[in-house]
Chains A and B, each alone.
Chain A
Amino acid sequence: MTRLRDLLPGAALLLALTMGMIWLPSDTRLPMEILLVFAMAQAWNLLCGYAGLLSFGHQAFVGLGGYALFLTVNTSGLPLAAALGASVLVGVLAAAVMALLLRNLRDAYFSIGIWVLAEVIRLSFGQWPLVGSSRGMMLDASRLDLASFAEMVFWLALALALATQIAVFALLRSRFGLGLMATRDNDVAAASIGVDARASRFVAFVFSAVVCALAGGIYYLSVLYIDPTGAFDLDWQIRILFIVIIGGVGTLEGPILGTLIYFALRELFQGQGEMFLITQGALALAVMLIAPRGIWGWVQDRTGWQIFPTRWRVG
């Protein structure tokens, strides 16, 4: 039974954050980036924190989503909605092929196996003349309405972020989510009561890939230019990892908190790229040693607070 009191705090938080993003005193670029990075982080959190698959290769989906959109717009002249559809399609296909290649690799083998695949994709795009090889390509903006362009990209990003948060919340409260968490906590026991771990892991993997592909599509749409070094940059993955780990892996609130911390730090460290990255690495390391469930996990262990409750309560 879904009860209002389970949904209310989360809805209130999302509303407040949405308002904050809309009225953030800056142009729409920063809030757009915040929303997209958050969506990627939350999707990756579903994969790592709930399905138990640690991926070091999600930058592949970001880049593929961007390239899918650019190729569709530049070569077919289809409307933008279709180009975003192409990002989704490429995300699903890439995830399915990767899942097939990596299906026998567990744990660490999966983590680094997908990293190798991401490198293969990056190096291949650097050799592909149709997408401008390593020089990259420009988006054909002749059919875009440039007056409302920045606004539109912002609303797309907001929609993706909200949809991701709500979808992950709904997924985890469903039968599927219960199975996923049961497998994570005790795979033998979960299998013995009929939970298909392989299938639920696959769903989580494809979901995370599609969100990252869409976010990549929207991000590079706003930039109007894409190249393999940037689009398949490991920094996308480091950003996602940092946000989820700091905020709290395996909690729905963690990535929200992590995203806020990440962008606050970035403003603080403006112009000092290496120091910013060193700080991220050091904080991730410190969290693992001191509070492996991140800041929100630490709070939750002591207070039992859940803004997005995934547990069912009796009574």
Chain B
Amino acid sequence: MTLLAAVLNGLMVGGLYGLFGLGLALAFGIMRVVNIAHGEFIVLGAFLGATVLAVTPLPLPVVVLVVAISAFAMGWLMQATMLNRLVGPNPIPAMIATMGLSIIIRNALVAVYGNNIRAIDIGPVQNLGIEVAGVALGVLPLAIFALSVAMFLAVGLLLRHSTTGRAFRAAADDFEILETLGFNRRRVYALAMGLAVTLAAVAGLLLAVRSSFTPFSGIERLLIAFQVVIIGGLGSLRGSFLAGLFLGVVHVVGLSLNPNVGPLFGHLAFILILILRQADLPAILTRRGR
């Protein structure tokens, strides 16, 4: 794979990374819940999609819809039955509860599906390619990238122009005022978690269509989502999207250099960004300019 091809492929994976981060950021921004099981929902989306594809004749777009609806129900249930009881100024109880949930989901997946590496086979579409400026690109990755951009735009529209979306943003700022306006805070939270888990599961299924996964992939996916949030900033759709693209490029280029290190290069890029932020670059640059 040439460098250009690696960069382009990274960008296309990065759209999905951005969605991973967007889901985590929504839950954290709106109800201050850090969902440690976020990565497990990403993988659950993949297993669910793979199972539905295997046992029913439904085409992929319909399966994506099925996964989205079930994921929304799971997120809604998780928030309504468990996490609503744990929201508050101290974030630790909700983190430990979702850590417990992540252990349950991960090991249930191992018990049901075994711990082999899996991939989703959707037939000849997988191998279709077109050539753009001398670089061969898959039709499927392009379609997936277009879909992730569309999902970003849809979430942006939802947050800006719908009552529910405005309630989400209001809940992030001040839930007490939201309640005086007649909104039920717990219902708003449950809807937001439903949306967050939907983003995770759908992006997880789309990533699984183009690469392999195991029940243990959730940890890596959670860390990617988290890095997207830190690099892109909380409460910025554009930030999440760009951070996702950046991490996607780092991962794919890194893997083309050394295929044995997994997500190491992505983690190192994240640490580098942490260091650069602490170094207070503006101050250093102005001092040098003087």
Contact = CB atoms under 8 A, between A and B. Distances in A.
Interface of A: 48, 52, 54, 56, 101-105, 107-109, 111-113, 115-117, 119-120, 123-124, 126-127, 234, 238, 241, 245, 273-275, 277-278, 280-286, 288-289, 292
Among B34, B82, B92, B94, chain A packs the most CB atoms within 10 A around the CB of B92
B111 A275 contact: yes
Chain A contact residues: helix, strand, loop or mixed? helix
A112 B223 contact: yes
B34 A108 contact: yes
Given A54-B95, A116-B227, A289-B86, A274 B107 contact: yes
B264 A120 contact: yes
Given A285-B97, A289-B86, 15 more contacts: A54-B95, A104-B277, A109-B230, A127-B264, A245-B96, A274-B111, A278-B103, A281-B101, A281-B102, A283-B100, A284-B96, A285-B101, A288-B93, A288-B100, A289-B82
Contacts of B227: 116
A129 B164 CA distance: 55
Contacts of B129: none
25 contacts: A52-B92, A54-B92, A54-B95, A107-B34, A111-B95, A112-B34, A112-B223, A116-B270, A117-B271, A119-B220, A123-B261, A123-B262, A123-B263, A124-B264, A127-B264, A234-B219, A241-B96, A273-B107, A274-B110, A275-B111, A278-B103, A281-B99, A284-B97, A284-B99, A288-B93
Contact of B264 (A103, A105, A123): A123
A109 B25 CA distance: 12
Nearest to B35: A108
Contacts of B101: 281, 285
A291 to B, nearest CB: 11
Interface of B: 28, 34, 36, 82, 85-86, 91-97, 99-104, 106-108, 110-111, 219-220, 222-223, 226-227, 230, 258, 260-264, 267-268, 270-271, 274-275, 277-278
A286 B103 CA distance: 13
A232 to B, nearest CB: 12
